[in-house]
Amino acid sequence: MNKDAVYGLYPNPESAQRAVDALEEAGVPERDIVIVSAEPFEDYPFGRRDHRTLMPWIAVLAGVLAGLMGFLFVAFTQRAYPLPTGGMPIVSPWPDGVITYELIMLGAILATLITLVVTARSPEGTSHIYATEVAQGKILVGAAKVRAENSAKIEAALRNAGAFSVVGSKPGA
Amino acid sequence: MEWRGGWSGERWVIPMASLDQDTLNRVDDDLLRPLMATSRRYFVASSLVGLIVLTAVAVFGYQVWRGIGVLGINRPVFWAFYITNFVFWIGISHAGTLISAILRLANATWRRPVTRCAEAITVFALSIGAMFPIIHLGRPWLFFWLVPYPSQRTIWPNFRSPLLWDFFAISSYLTGSVTFLLLPIIPDWAVVRERAHGWRKRLYRVLSLGWRGTPRQWNRLETAMHIMAVVIIPVAVSVHTIVSWDFAMAPVPMWHSTIFGPYFVAGAIFSGIAGLILAMALLRKCLHLEEYLRPLHFDNLGKLLLMMSLLWFYFIVAERLTTWYGNESSEMAVFWATQRGAFAPLFWIMVLCNFGIPFPLLAIKKLRTITGTVIASSTIVVGMWIERFLIIVPSLARKYLPYAFGSYRPTWVEITVTAGTFAAMGLLYLLFVKFVPIISIWELKVGLRATLPARAAWRQKAAPWSQCRDLRGRPNAGEAVLAANLMAKEPRE
């Protein structure tokens, strides 16, 4: 039978790392290796996978754009509806700077949030692999898109790494 | 891959052995208990504060119906209790986000059980504070006139008004604070999702946004948290600076001062830490979180509070000395009104509450216990509310020309609405702990796991707690003790 995914549950990050290494040795492409845990493991190589992101730069860019748009909004409004106040110029750089500053920050905050929501999604094919035991502290390591002829080999690799249990799921499960 | 342990010369470097399953389960059970079970005491407490909030809402309705003539404000004291509440609650909101962000950026490992509690305070206090400019309006249903939007009436908000800066500052801060609070909650909601049943399961499935916990998600979340921590600090500072400019931009005696920005920010952090300590003490007692919110946390926050108390005293002296030395007649009228006039009793109570009582309690190590920090925080909260009142009312009551001098006495309407805000804070907190683990489960586990080398070193009698370090060499005694206690294998502190 053709299995879509095979995964094992591991009690600690050491055994999870061994499982990831074993899957790589078994020829599973990195994009098809699935790791799911209830906490981050930055001190282990598997926890640092896929960590490159443009999020900080996007936040900076969004901040600059929001600030620029905010300043233009304020300045054009002040010119369109002039309100002479206290002898200040109609477009007053100091007060407008306060609003520009706040909008820079708001732009960076919203961009960070949106980037997180958009980029944290799992790749196609791996998104359905999950086990409720993860919430209890187990670490799930598995492989997506497993071909039938490789299934036994991958199951053995996961088991030898110290899995509590190894589970295979059918396509579309 | 191989992990080898040993003494590196400076610290223990050993494998990060796993936390045993019992410890993980115990952490989950302890922190999810308030979400899963509801005691009778909870209903009683919720009903009590809910009743006070409803009363305050009804009284506000009465104010809207009868008009602001039912308030004690008058000419020339147009701003009083409500604006005091506005400044006070915006100040309290600095507890969370600012403290949490600074501790996160500084990698203070003891922060983990504290941060969510603090971030929640920020969101609630800010929401309460932001309502007051509207509550204060004579016609609150026209509050949207403040919002900058294209209007056919050609009534455009004046962007040079500090009141409009408030709108932008508070909007940005509220958006940032809610984001900063919610981001690290998502993984915890995923944990609750797996434990809950029925409608709760469906609710948490929606709230957890499909969170699974892949390395990609963890990395994105931590990057986002880092960016938010960097962004939220200048926003928080700007918010209270802008609140101070509501006053400092006006040529009113003792308002028109360059010191107001930093003075307000320092006061905000001061009252915020005090509010945080009170909230932590209540949660510790009511939710039985003694193992998590430990004396160490109160001691560390007590030290911060001590520093802020000294800073507050410095600002008071700097402000008063400069005014006294300048001897400008309109400012001296306000000065003497607060030093030995009608407002003097409040002024000296404020000094006692913000410095006289807290200083010895926080400076003497033996007194800096949980009880000591709670007493100090209680007096500080009272003192800081009085401070906000004394900034606003005496200056308006003694403005320039003696024939225009006035006085102010609050009415039962203002007092009830003010009491309602404190009850609202309690109610929001009670609701929050029913839906969100009040201590971040995943962050706590990361902290516990990081202390395992320290714990192992202790077991080998190689290092006392005070010298314990985590894998990255950071001091980590507090969480090492917590880990040991949870695992129930080593003695308590």
Question: Which residues are paired to B367 by β-bridges?
Answer: none
Question: Is the CB of A99 less than 8 angstroms away from the CB of B165?
Answer: yes
pLDDT of residue B448: 82
Whether residues A94 and A129 share a domain: the answer is: no
% of chain B beyond a pLDDT of 90: 66
Whether residues A92 and A142 share a domain: the answer is: no
How far apart are the CA of A31 and the nearest CA of chain B, in angstroms?
11
CB B90 within 8 A of CB B243: yes
Go through chain A and tell me how many residues it has.
Answer: 173
For B240-255, the pLDDT digits (tens) are: 999 999 999 999 999 9
For B420-470, the pLDDT digits (tens) are: 999 999 999 999 999 999 999 999 888 887 766 555 555 554 444 455 555
Whether residues A78 and A105 share a domain: the answer is: yes
pLDDT class of B11 with cuts at 50, 70, 90 = very low
The least confident of A20-24, A54-58, A118-122 is: A118-122
pLDDT of residue B18: 53
pLDDT of residue A173: 42
B469 φ/ψ angles, rounded to the nearest 5 degrees: -130, 155
Whether residues A131 and A115 share a domain: the answer is: no
Per CB-CB distance under 8 Å, the chain A contacts of B16 are 13-14, 43
pLDDT of residue B17: 44
For B357-402, the pLDDT digits (tens) are: 999 999 999 999 999 999 999 999 999 999 999 999 999 999 888 8
Per CB-CB distance under 8 Å, the chain A contacts of B168 are 98-99, 102-103, 106
d(CA B420, CA A125): 52
Whether residues A107 and A61 share a domain: the answer is: yes
**How far is Cα of residue A79 from the mean position of the Cα atoms in its chain?**
44
pLDDT of residue A69: 96
Q: Which of A101, A119, A137 delimits the end of a domain?
A: A119
Whether residues A45 and A59 share a domain: the answer is: no
Pull the structure tokens for residue B478: 């507090």
d(CA B73, CA B214): 57
pLDDT class of A125 with cuts at 50, 70, 90 = low
pLDDT of residue B25: 84
3-state DSSP assignment of residue A26: coil
Task: Tell me the C-alpha to C-alpha distance, in Å, between residue B6 and each of A35, B399, B453, B467.
Answer: 29, 71, 10, 16
**How far is Cα of residue A88 from the mean position of the Cα atoms in its chain?**
48
Whether residues A92 and A61 share a domain: the answer is: yes
For B337-369, the pLDDT digits (tens) are: 999 999 999 999 999 999 999 999 999 999 999
Whether residues A137 and A152 share a domain: the answer is: yes
Question: Is the CB of A11 less than 8 angstroms away from the CB of B18?
Answer: yes
Q: Which of A99, A119, A139 delimits the end of a domain?
A: A119
Per CB-CB distance under 8 Å, the chain A contacts of B446 are 39-40
pLDDT of residue B355: 97
Its ipTM equals: 0.92
Per CB-CB distance under 8 Å, the chain B contacts of A38 are 187, 190-191, 213, 442, 445
Whether residues A84 and A130 share a domain: the answer is: no
Residue of B nearest to A18 (CA): B1
Whether residues A10 and A43 share a domain: the answer is: yes
Residue B486 has pLDDT above 70, yes or no: no
pLDDT of residue A61: 98
For B107-130, the pLDDT digits (tens) are: 888 888 899 999 999 999 999 999
Residue of A nearest to B2 (CA): A14
Whether residues A115 and A131 share a domain: the answer is: no
What does the pLDDT average to over B301-316? 96
Per-residue three-class SS string for B400-468: CCHHHCCCCCCCHHHHHHHHHHHHHHHHHHHHHHHHCCCCCHHHHHHHHHHCHHHHHHHHCCCCCHHHC
For A25-78, the pLDDT digits (tens) are: 988 888 889 999 999 998 888 888 888 899 999 999 999 999 999 999 999 988
Task: Give the contacts of B285 (CB within 8 A, at least 6 positions apart).
Answer: none
What does the pLDDT average to over A142-158? 86
Number of domains chain A is built from: 2
Per CB-CB distance under 8 Å, the chain A contacts of B154 are 81
Q: Which of A119, A134, A156 delimits the end of a domain?
A: A119
Domains and CATH numbers, chain B: 28-450 (1.20.1630.10)
pLDDT of residue B459: 52
Task: Tell me the C-alpha to C-alpha distance, in Å, between residue A135 and each of B21, B53, B188, B463.
Answer: 12, 37, 9, 34
3-state DSSP assignment of residue A35: strand
Nearest in space to A77 (alpha carbons), one of B150, B164, B153, B88: B150
Q: Which domain does A89 fall in, by range?
A: 55-119
For testing contact with chain A, the best of B28, B29, B159 (most A CBs within 10 A): B159
CB B129 within 8 A of CB B90: yes
pLDDT class of B13 with cuts at 50, 70, 90 = very low
Give the predicted TM-score (pTM) of the model.
Answer: 0.88
Task: Give the contacts of B338 (CB within 8 A, at least 6 positions apart).
Answer: B344, B346, B347, B390, B394
Whether residues A64 and A99 share a domain: the answer is: yes
For B146-198, the pLDDT digits (tens) are: 777 666 666 677 889 898 899 999 999 999 999 999 999 999 999 999 888 88
CATH code where residue A23 lies: 3.30.70
